[in-house]
Amino acid sequence: MTNSKTPCVDDLRAQRDELDRQVARATVDPMEAFVALLGSAEITDQLDRLTAAAVPLDEVTRKRVEQWARTREALAKLADIELARLRKLVS
């Protein structure tokens, strides 16, 4: 026997879905700005200059700098995926 005041699974899912939509509405604009920053020509130029400046340095340092650039690319892809998810929740 269940208590009539205990929410059912469907009610809990609906509450969670509404919370997800609220979070999406609150974060879609900041996420758009973040995605734009990660993909900006300015950041690309800075990383290119940093990579070029690291060329005469030791191999470990060069690889570390190159890894930073690759990490930025991966973050940009993940941020795009998350932004698409947020937009879908808002629409």
**What is the model's pLDDT at position 6?**
84
Q: Is the pTM of this model over 0.75?
A: no
**What is the model's pLDDT at position 3?**
61
CA distance 64 to 28: 32
Residue type, 68: W
What average pLDDT does the segment 8-22 reach? 94
On whether the CB atoms of residues 89 and 21 are closer than 8 A, the answer is yes
pLDDT at 1 over 80: no
pLDDT at 2 over 60: no
In tens, the pLDDT along 28-71 reads 999 999 999 999 999 999 999 999 999 999 999 999 998 988 89
